Amino acid sequence: MLTVNEKRYNPNFQAYIKVKDNHAGFHHLKHFLDEKFEFDYCLLNQKKTKNGMSASLLTKKDYDKFLDLLKLNIPIIELKENLAKYLKKKPKKMNAAETITYFNKK
């Protein structure tokens, strides 16, 4: 019998999303991601402003690829600023609610 974690695990699933929303939306998104991916994700380039936040979200294969890139002695600042170049893909742009809906469909 499969456990809850095994049912949710999909090794082929990956996402690289640029998320922009208010602080409450990000708080809700972080709790959702903790439950869905059990900390197997990464929020990079978090920028806080008076009106909200923005960050790059990596999950599964893209997260693993990012960890592999860290081993190549690329300066972390260079990697964070040029993430799309190193991952060889452009991020999807969504707010927190759209991101949660996107992951619930998967």
> What is the count of structural domains for the chain?
1
Q: Are strands 41-48 and 14-21 parallel, antiparallel or unpaired?
A: unpaired
pLDDT at 7: 42
Residue 92 — left, alpha, or beta (φ > 0 → left; ψ -120 to 50 → alpha)? beta
Order of strands, sheet of 41-48, starting from the edge strand that comes earlier in the sequence: 41-48, 53-59, 14-21, 92-94
Domain containing residue 23: 4-105
**For 21-73, what is each residue's pLDDT tens digit?**
998 999 999 899 888 877 678 888 888 888 888 888 888 777 788 878 888 88
Average pLDDT for the chain: 79
The residue-averaged pLDDT of 71-90 equals 83
pLDDT at 39: 66
